[in-house]
């Protein structure tokens, strides 16, 4: 019973961490964009630049996760990330100065990487050491649950001004920071599991790693346009005015159970086949609003996008952690840097395209095309480098 309770608390700390660092500190900006368009004069170009700056901060966090090897130091960065996530959310509501917003988005990006990458690495290390199944679906479900929570909180607080909504979200963030901090144990630095089995890293081949970097680069392009603008895309359609919040809520509802579902799919079909399916559905989901501007297509897009983007992250990062059980965040960080490069440039490109064309259709086609390119690279991995994940496909013995 004690083992089950400990596992529950560790996984729950990860859920609370992602609600704070991903959904509040990072994704709350998405539904707040149209509100800030109307109330405080945020422009489409500035919105794109703020998203780009956020991803630069995220890249810095990913680089930190790659370079820092000590689990003790990573634990400190993780906890600092929780505090920064709360601080930067409050900052957004305390000023209407674009430079303050930019600083907030930059530090929030770093806190997101601390929560998503370093936090996931610490939790995966704990699971492996205690001989639990090394699947992170429950942990990554925090992203979707947090999106649902943010959508509901903003819907309930429509009577508040934009700045008050940011401050309200900051207060909620404080509540989630407490269990995220307290329930994650200080890392064990011994190179063995609790039963004395040695933990050995199994680095993939250079070919596999290079191809996976390309695969995840393409996923970054696919992720960022909809993640930043999905609410604005819906609100930009005159017939759909006021429906953006519903699309964001549907996205979160689809994302919440997705990682657990993709864990099961990966177990049944294999990691690469699950990734292929996720990329295909992801590409379709992204482009639907550009094909048809009805509410049905917008909500279907949000649903398919939500179901797949967290699934892709979960599959790839869990796979990376299994290659390096003693330092899971190392490869996670390297892959995320590849994932993050397009996230730096794509929001700004989309902002300028939307400013000149009046819609986001060209950006959606661009994002979907990159995801399809990633699909083709996964096929190349299956042909030339599938042997690298042979060990990952083996059944995991339950403790």
Q: Is residue 78 a contact partner of residue 115, using CB atoms and an 8 Å limit?
A: yes
* Ramachandran sector of residue 292 (left: φ over 0; alpha: ψ -120 to 50; beta: rest): beta
Our measurement of the distance from residue 281's CA atom to the centroid of its chain's CA atoms, rounded to an integer in Å, reads 17
CA distance 70 to 190: 12
Indicate the domain borders of the chain.
7-184+200-391
Token pair 């709360």: residue: 86
Q: Is residue 61 a contact partner of residue 112, using CB atoms and an 8 Å limit?
A: yes
Distances (CA, A) of 311 to 37, 86, 165, 266, 370: 31, 26, 29, 10, 17
pLDDT at 211: 95
Tokens of 124: 């995966």
Residue whose C-alpha is closest to residue 117's, from 77, 153, 84, 164: 77
CA distance 262 to 267: 8
Determine the 3-state secondary structure of 66 from DSSP: helix
Q: Is residue 55 a contact partner of residue 344, using CB atoms and an 8 Å limit?
A: yes
Domain 7-184+200-391's class? mainly alpha
Distances (CA, A) of 378 to 75, 291, 324, 385: 33, 26, 21, 10
Tokens of 189: 């630095």
CA atoms within 13 A on the CB side of 288: 23
Q: What is the mean pLDDT of each run of 10 residues along the chain (399 residues)?
A: 68 94 93 92 89 89 86 93 98 96 97 91 82 72 90 92 97 97 84 60 86 94 81 76 82 89 89 95 94 88 92 87 74 84 80 80 91 96 79 47
Q: 174-212 burial string, b = 16+ CB within 10 Å, else e?
A: eebbebbbebbeebeeeeebeeeeeeeeeebeeebbebb
């Amino acid at each position: 019973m004690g083992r089950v309770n400990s596992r529950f608390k560790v996984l729950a700390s990860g859920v609370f961490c992602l609600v704070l660092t991903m959904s509040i500190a990072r994704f709350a900006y998405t539904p707040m964009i149209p509100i800030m368009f109307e109330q405080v004069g945020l422009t489409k170009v500035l919105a794109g630049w703020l998203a780009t700056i956020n991803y630069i901060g995220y890249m810095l966090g990913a680089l930190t996760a790659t370079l820092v090897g000590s689990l003790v130091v990573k634990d400190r960065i993780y906890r600092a990330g929780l505090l920064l996530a709360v601080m930067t959310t409050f900052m957004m509501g305390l000023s209407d100065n674009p430079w303050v917003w930019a600083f907030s988005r930059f530090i929030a990006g770093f806190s997101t990487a601390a929560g998503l990458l370093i936090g996931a690495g610490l939790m995966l290390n704990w699971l492996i050491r205690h001989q639990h199944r090394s699947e992170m679906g429950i942990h990554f479900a925090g992203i979707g649950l947090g999106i649902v929570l943010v959508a509901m909180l903003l819907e309930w607080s429509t009577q508040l001004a934009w700045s008050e909504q940011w401050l309200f979200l900051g207060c909620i963030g404080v509540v989630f920071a407490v269990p995220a901090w307290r329930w994650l144990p200080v890392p064990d630095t011994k190179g063995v599991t609790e039963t004395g089995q040695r933990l050995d890293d199994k680095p993939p081949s250079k070919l596999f790693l290079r191809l996976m970097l390309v695969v995840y680069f393409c996923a970054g392009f696919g992720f960022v346009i909809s993640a930043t603008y999905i609410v604005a895309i819906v609100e930009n359609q005159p017939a759909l005015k006021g429906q953006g919040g519903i699309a964001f809520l549907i996205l979160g509802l689809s994302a919440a159970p997705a990682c657990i579902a993709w864990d099961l799919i990966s177990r049944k079909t294999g990691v690469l086949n699950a990734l292929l399916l996720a990329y295909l559905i992801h590409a379709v989901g992204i482009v639907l609003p550009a094909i048809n501007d009805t509410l049905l297509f917008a909500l279907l897009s949000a649903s398919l996008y939500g179901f797949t983007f967290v699934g892709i992250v979960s599959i790839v990062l869990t796979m990376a952690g299994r290659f390096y059980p003693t330092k899971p965040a190392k490869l996670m960080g390297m892959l995320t840097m590849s994932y993050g490069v397009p996230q730096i440039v794509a929001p700004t490109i989309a902002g300028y395209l939307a400013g000149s064309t009046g819609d986001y259709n060209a950006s959606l086609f661009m994002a979907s095309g990159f995801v399809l390119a990633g699909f083709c690279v996964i096929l190349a991995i299956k042909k030339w480098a599938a042997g690298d994940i042979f060990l990952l496909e083996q059944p995991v013995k339950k403790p």
